[in-house]
Amino acid sequence: MPSETITPEVEEEEEGVASGSETEEEGESSNDTTNTNTTTTTATTTTPTTSTTTTERDKGERIEEEGKPPRQTTIQRELADAIVRLAPIDELKFLLQCGANVKDPVTQGLTPLHYAVWQRYPEAAEFLISEGCDINARDEIGYTALHLSAEHGYTEMMKVLLKHNAQVNFNIPPEFDDDFPTDALDEPLRLALKHDHHDATRLLLEHGANPNTRYFFGSEINLVNPLNTQLLHILLSYGANPNAHDRQGFTPIMKCCRLQQGLESVLLLISFGADVNARTEARHDYRSVLHYAVLSGSVPIVNLLLKQGARVNFEPEYNKPTPLDLAILKGDVEIVRLILQNGANLDASSPIIGSPLHMACSEGIPNRMEILKLLLDNGANPNLIIVGEDNKPIKPPLGEYLASNEDPDVEVVKMFLKHGAEVVMQSQNRDPRGLLNCLPNLTKKPEVLITLLEAAHHFDLTIIKHSSLIDNEQRKIYLEVGQSPLPLKHLVRVFLRQDLGDKIPTRLHELDLPTIMKKYLLYEIS
C-alpha cells in the first residue's frame, strides 16, 4: 500500500552554497501547494538530516578534532562499555584486534578487569587474564580487582582471581606489634569484614590473607563488631590474635565485656585463649577486663570472668577505682556480692578515693544500705585510717557519710556503730578517726545527733568552743555532753568494743553473754 510522504522544509542556505540554489528554492516554494498531498510508493525515513555550510562543517570538524579523546582512550572506553553490557567474548576479541589493550586503564586507573569484576562477568575476566592483563593492577586509590570483589562479596569473581594467583596481602607487617601504621591501605580482607561478607572472608583467609594486619586503629579483629560472633570465629580459626590491643589499648574481650549482650563473644574469645586479666594503658586507668564487665552490669559475664580467674585485687600502688569500687558506685548489689565472694580485699585503698567503704558512703549511691551491710558483714573496717595525697588522713568512712549526705539516715549510722565504728569528737589533727570536722548541721536530724552522742567519747572541748564549722546550737549540745562525765557502762562498752576489734557482731555471737548485754554492746539498745 503506498504511503503518504511528508516532504521536510529545506532551510535557506548561507553564502558559499553552489550557484542556482536560490532559483531552485524559489521554484520549490511556488509549487508548495501543488506538492503537499503527493503520494508515492517510497517508505517514510525516520532519520532526520541537517544541512551545514562548508564553513560551518570545516569549523565543526576542527572543534571535534581538538576535543576528541585519543584513539586508544576511545577504544578502551568501548571495551569497558562492551564488558558492562555483557557483550560476547567474540566482540571483546574484536575490540582487542581494533587496538584495545587489556592492561591499559579506562578511567581513574580502572582497568577492563575491574569492569569485568564489577559486572560479575567471570567469562570476561577469564578472557582478559588469558590475554595477559595485570591481575594486580590498582586503580587511583590503590584497589585491585580483588579489592573490588571482596568489598561487594562477589565470591564467584574472587574465585576466578584467586585461581590465577591474585595478590591477597598488600601491607608490610609493622616491625613491632604495638605499631599502628598511618599509611596502611585496606586489604581485601578488611573490605570483606567491613561489609560482613562471611564467605568472602573465609575464602581470602583460605588463600593466605593475613588475619593480623594492623591499621591505624588496630588489627583486623579489633575492627570487627564485637557482637559478630561469626566473623570473630572465622578470624580466630585462621590465627587472629585474641589479645591484640587497638590504638586505645582495648583488647577484643574488653570490648565484648562492655556490652550486656557480649556473653557469647566472651565465651568464644576465652576458648581461643583471650586473657581475662588484660589491662589497658594509663589513659584508661589501667583497667582490666573485669572493670568493663562490671560497667556493663552483666552478672553472667562477671561471673564467667571470675570463674576463669579474673583478678579482683590489684597491686598495692594501684590508686584507681577497682572493679568492686565501680560496682559500688553503680549500686549493683549482685555484682558486689560476686566480687566479695571471690576474695576482694575490703581494706584495699588509695589516697585519692579511699576504701570500698568510703565509696559506699559517698553521695547518691543506689542501694546503699544493702551494699554497706554486705561490706561490713564481710569485714570492712569502719575505722580504717588512710593517708591522702597531702599526707593528711582522709575522713573515716562514717565521717565521709555524714559529710557527703545532706540527709543522713540514722539506720546507716546505727549499722556503722554495730560493726565497730568509733565516734571520736575531735578534729583529725588530734585523732585521724575524729569526726568533729565532718559533722554537718545535725540539729535538724535529732535522731542522728542523739545516736552519735550516745556513742561518742574523747570530746575536744577547745575545738568545740572555737570551731567555725559548728553552729551555736550544736556547740551548746556538744559542750553539755562533753563536760559531763561519761557513764561507766558506756566507758565499759567502748573498752570492750575496742578489745573485740574487727567483726564485732560475729565475735559477740561467739561469747557466752546475756542477750541484753550483746544488744547494748551493738548499740541496739541504750
Dihedral angle sign, alpha carbons of residues 50, 53, 55, 58: positive
Dist. CA 496–CA 518, nearest whole Å: 11
In a domain, 521, yes or no: no
> Are the CB atoms for 311 and 347 separated by under 8 Å?
no
Distances in Å between the Cα of 173 and the Cα atoms of 138, 181, 204, 360, 484 are 20, 9, 17, 48, 80
User: Would you call 260 helix, strand, or coil by DSSP?
Assistant: coil
Q: Does residue 137 form part of some domain?
A: yes
- Whether residue 128 is contained in a domain is answered as yes
Q: Which set of grid coordinates corresponds to residue 460? A: 575536744
Q: Specify if 91 maps to a domain.
A: yes
Nearest residue to 478 (alpha-carbon basis) of 514, 437, 432 = 437
Q: What letter represents residue 135's amino acid?
A: I
Residue with cell 574523747: 458
Classify residue 70 by its DSSP letter: P
Cβ(423)–Cβ(379) below 8 Å: no
Handedness of CA 14, 15, 20, 23 (dihedral sign): positive
DSSP labels, 173-237: PPSSTT---SSPPPPHHHHHHHTT-HHHHHHHHHTT--TT-EETTEEGGGSS-TT-HHHHHHHHH
3-class state of residue 82 by DSSP: helix
Q: What are phi and psi of 288, to 5 degrees?
A: -100, 175
Residue 345 and residue 504: Cα distance in Å, rounded? 19
**Which residue's C-alpha cell is 564485732?**
504
Tell me the CATH number at 124.
Answer: 1.25.40.20
**Number of neighbouring beta carbons within 10 Å of residue 179:** 11
Q: Which residues pair with 456 in a beta bridge?
A: 423
Neighbours of 159 (CB within 10 A): 14
526 residues of the chain, pLDDT tens digit each: 333 333 333 333 333 333 333 333 444 443 443 333 433 333 333 333 333 333 443 434 433 444 445 556 789 999 999 999 999 999 999 999 999 999 999 999 999 999 999 999 999 999 999 999 999 999 999 999 999 999 999 999 999 999 999 999 999 876 665 678 888 899 999 999 999 999 999 999 999 999 999 999 999 999 999 999 999 999 999 999 999 999 999 999 999 999 999 999 999 999 999 999 999 999 999 999 999 999 999 999 999 999 999 999 999 899 999 999 999 999 999 999 999 999 999 999 988 889 999 999 998 899 999 999 999 999 999 999 999 888 999 999 999 999 998 889 999 999 999 999 999 999 988 999 999 888 877 878 889 999 999 999 889 999 999 888 888 888 899 999 999 998 898 889 988 888 888 788 888 888 888 999 999 999 888 8
What are the beta bridge partners of residue 424? Answer: 434, 457
- Examine residue 97 and state whether it is found in any structural domain, yes or no: yes
What amino acid occupies position 439?
L
- 356 in Cβ contact with 328 (< 8 Å): yes
Number of domains in the chain: 1
**Cell numbers placing 217:** 586503629
**Helical segments of 16-70, H only:** 21-30, 32-35, 54-67
Tell me which amino acid residue 399 is. Answer: G
CB–CB of 329/321 below 8 Å? Answer: yes
Please give the residue range of the domain that contains residue 117: 71-163
The single-letter DSSP state of residue 4 is E
Give the angle subtended at the CA of 274 by the CAs of 270 and 279, to the nearest 5°.
Answer: 130
**CB proximity list for 178: less than 8 A, separation 6 or greater:** 245
Please report whether residue 513 resides in a domain. no
Q: Examine residue 145 and state whether it is found in any structural domain, yes or no.
A: yes
